[in-house]
Amino acid sequence: MTGSGQTPEGGAPDPQDRSAEDRAIQDRVVGSWVDTKAPDDLKPYLRLSRADRPIGTWLLLLPCWWGVLLAALAYPETRGATTLWLMIASALGAFLMRGAGCTWNDITDRDIDDKVERTRNRPLASGAVTVREALIWMGIQMVASFLLLLTFNGAAIFLGVLALLPVAIYPFAKRFTWWPQAFLGLAFNWGALLGWTAQAGHLDWPAVVLYIAGIAWTLFYDTIYAHQDREDDALIGVRSTARLFGDNTENWLRGFLVASVVLMSLAIIYALAPLAQPLVLSLTLAGAWAFGAHLNWQLRRLNIHDSAVLLSLFRSNRDAGLIVVLILAAALLV
């Protein structure tokens, strides 16, 4: 994401009970497990990985689960313990790779973050962590994630390694295009391809269509998110769809909403129509449209000039994505 939302989750502790470092770090969730449970020496690294803000992990994970579950529906013979393991491994991998990606993002953005009020006290921008330390931390997370990936089939391992390409490019996108959110979508929805392939053993067109649906979804939620930094981005010359769309944002978001729902529906039809199970197909399509209803709910509440509303709507996309997961999982029981 182009920035990292100011996050008032949890109650703020008494300022007198907080360290000078804690008071300085505005770009974090106050009262999270990182604050209350993590060792002090580890806190800057966990904040570098956004471990105190799970929404990014959710948004990376949910397309993985979509891919796994839709493939399990499309290929009933593949269901079983493998499906359960893929769901668990995807969750662990999303946490690790989101952390590595955020670390890489902060390494590349350290000279930008210190010019933005909301991000100037991030661990790298503030000097709490050095670039060398951040690189080592990123490497640890990537190695752990790769070890998980090795439990997948060969085709999925190949796709997992290939995913590093959009992850590496994304932080630079806002320097050369008005559409960095599209590059985020390429990276964050790769799990739809990976999850499907890990479950089915090969990549199919329904996974590709589902991937593109996820990209449209990312354009929806991250444009909302990027409006928080619109003024700072303009001052320092950082591009985003929020700046590009401006007061016409609502119309663009409506287009992304329609695209994501239609493409997700097409992916489901393409995957499940050959099974000739009308109840399963109807139930899963209902999940896609319930997902769209949630996005429409967000659109009705949109106020691009209210940061608190923007952040709340952005975070609510975890629930939007979970609607699809829960209905696909329910379809497995039909």
The pTM of this model reads: 0.89
Largest CA distance in the chain: 64
Instruction: Identify whether the C-beta of residue 243 lies closer than 8 Å to the C-beta of residue 2.
Output: no
Give alpha helix (H) positions in 227-306. Answer: 230-236, 241-245, 249-272, 278-300
Average pLDDT rounded to a whole number, residues 91-103: 96
pLDDT digits (tens, 9 = 90+) for 270-314: 999 999 999 999 999 999 999 999 999 999 999 999 999 999 999
**Residue 1: per-residue pLDDT:** 46
CA–CA dist 264, 253 (Å, integer): 16
Average pLDDT rounded to a whole number, residues 325-334: 96
